[in-house]
Amino acid sequence: MNLKHAFAFLLLICIGSIPLKSRAVGIEFNHGSWAEFNLSGCSDQERNLYTFKSGQVLTAGNNDPLWDDAYANIYVYNAVANNILNVPDGTKEQREAKYAEALVGRAFEYLNLVNIFGNHYDPATAATDYGVPILLSEEVGDGASYVRNTVAEVYNQIMSDLKTATPLLPEVATNVYHPNRTIGYAFQARMFLYMGDYENALTNANEALKLNDQLLDMKPYTTTYSTFGRIVLASNPDETFPEDVSNVENIFMRNLGGAGSGFYRAVVASKDLLETFKSHLAPDGEDMRLSLFFATDEANFTMNPSSEPEHFKGYSTYAPYINQNAGFTTPEIYLIAAECEARIGSISRALQLLDKLRDARIKNNVHYVEATDAPNRTEALRLVIDERRREFALQGAPRLIDLKRLNREDWFRKDIVHSANGETWTLPANDPRYIMPVPQTVLDFNPDMPQYDR
């Protein structure tokens, strides 16, 4: 998946985190001012997403980057996976490592695809629910038609690729843009979590944490004027927030950086999201994810320290200006382990995992007390899911997938409400509109491909 081009689309899908957009809906930042929020400048596709339109979302003639770029990448991964073991160059170990990397990349694309364009995995219906076409060959014939495989078949393919790849991955990769052994376990932990197989998810999360449990301490950082590079060490403004290969949390890097010019300073956080950052804080506590990645009321988005700030009183806009990772990070592994512990293991260990992550995120963090904060598994789960929302806020697909999987549980189920210009739109829990439609450009070549009624 080309995450640079798909990021804006994913953000619009991630309902519940985004009430309205600024630049994305025709709002321009003027020097020292902020225009009113509205939908007037929004594209038809963005309005369709924001208002939970039924049926097709993309307008006629428009391609879907989520679908197209994913399959473009799968084509490349297939070409490598099907041929690399037979090339004469390199050692056997090097060829196997590249083969494993191709399998991991293919699995990454398919896990995103099946969760965006299919019903969430349910063992009772996965064998009949529509998934996405599984393509395992790099040879594409003219006029070829494709079968829409079931959700179960797609997951079985992902599982097969990961099981084959994991023992072949190197313990240490060239850099975080290439998968290592940690990813084999981390990826399986995510996959099993989505499947509701919490025992296997926990086992793999624990194996991943044995190999890498590093966290980045965000507390020493602050924000300054500028766009990219606005997050710096408070003690040394010349040292910017570590990104990509420099961030110890990144274990498999998939960039979101290309989305910055299109969506940073253009997405406003919902009140519901902002409230989660305020929960369980000491009077002098500060969640650095809110302080560093969002700007509230005003900010100087220039390279000039004397420039007058832009004002947006009463709003918090998303403006991290860092190259974020939509691949795999150690915080996700902590949160998978914590959720599985809350569900089937030790509540105490779930809270310990949360506290360790929060210690790296929150100034003057107050640790959870099991007797009062999580006296049962449901309350422990609430703490974990709130932490997932804070950690993955506005980073693409995680919130969408969490809503789809958790809405099936009574303790979580929620309706999403959007409003603008005096109108209100509601997306009930488990509504089929959570499932994105196969693009019409694909259906034009495959008119018999079955669709969800959304």
Per residue in 89-134, pLDDT (tens digit) is 999 999 999 999 999 999 999 999 999 999 999 999 999 999 999 9
Q: How confident is the model at residue 262 (pLDDT cuts 50, 70, 90)?
A: low
Distance between CA atoms of 243 and 325, rounded to whole angstroms?
9
pLDDT computed for residue 396 by the predictor: 75
**Band of residue 9 on the pLDDT scale cut at 50, 70, 90:** very low
Give the mean pLDDT of 54-72. 89
**What is the pLDDT at residue 8?**
43
And the tokens for 165? 């790849």
Angle of helix 198-211 versus helix 181-195 axis, rounded to 10: 160
Q: By three-state DSSP, how is residue 351 classified?
A: helix
Q: In DSSP terms, which residues pair with 298 in a beta bridge?
A: 311
Tell me which residue has tokens 């930042």: 29
Q: Mean pLDDT, to the nearest integer, of 1-11?
A: 41
- CA 401 – CA 416 distance, rounded (Å): 14
Backbone angles phi, psi at 386, to 5 degrees: -60, -40
Does the pLDDT at position 159 exceed 80? yes
Q: Give the H or E element holding residue 10.
A: helix 3-13
Indicate the pLDDT class of residue 416, thresholds 50, 70 and 90: very high
Q: Which residues contact 160 (CB under 8 A, 6 or more apart)?
A: none
User: Is the separation of the CB atoms in 193 and 340 below 8 Å?
Assistant: yes
Can you say whether the dihedral through the CA atoms of 180, 170, 189, 75 is positive or negative? Answer: positive
Rounded (10°) angle between helices 271-278 and 377-391? 110
Domain ranges within the chain, ordered by starting residue: 3-217+325-443
pLDDT in tens, 18-32: 333 333 332 323 333
Secondary structure tally for the chain: helices H, strands E: 16, 15
Rounded to whole angstroms, how far apart are CA atoms 171 and 153?
30
Tell whether the model's pLDDT for residue 3 goes beyond 70: no
Question: What was the pLDDT predicted at 40?
Answer: 72
Residue 13 confidence (pLDDT) above 60: no
Tokens of 166: 């994991």
Distance CA 421, CA 417 (A): 14
- For 3-217+325-443, which CATH class? mainly alpha
Angle formed at CA 256 by CA 96 and CA 77, multiple of 5 degrees: 25
Say which DSSP state 178 is in: S
pLDDT band at 288 (very low <50, low <70, confident <90, very high): very high
Confidence bin at 58 (pLDDT 50/70/90): confident
User: Mean pLDDT across the stretch 340-364?
Assistant: 98
pLDDT above 70 as % of the chain = 89
Q: In which band, very low, low, confident or very high, does the pLDDT at 142 lie, cut at 50, 70 and 90?
A: low
* Closest CA relative to residue 336, chosen from 439, 443, 239, 197: 197
Q: Which of 377, 321, 384 is nearest to 357 (CA)?
A: 384
The confidence band for 143, taking pLDDT boundaries of 50, 70 and 90, is low
| 22-27 LR contacts (CB < 8 Å, sep 24+) | 22/265, 22/266, 22/267, 22/268, 22/312, 22/317, 23/262, 23/263, 23/265, 23/266, 24/262, 24/263, 24/266, 24/267, 27/266
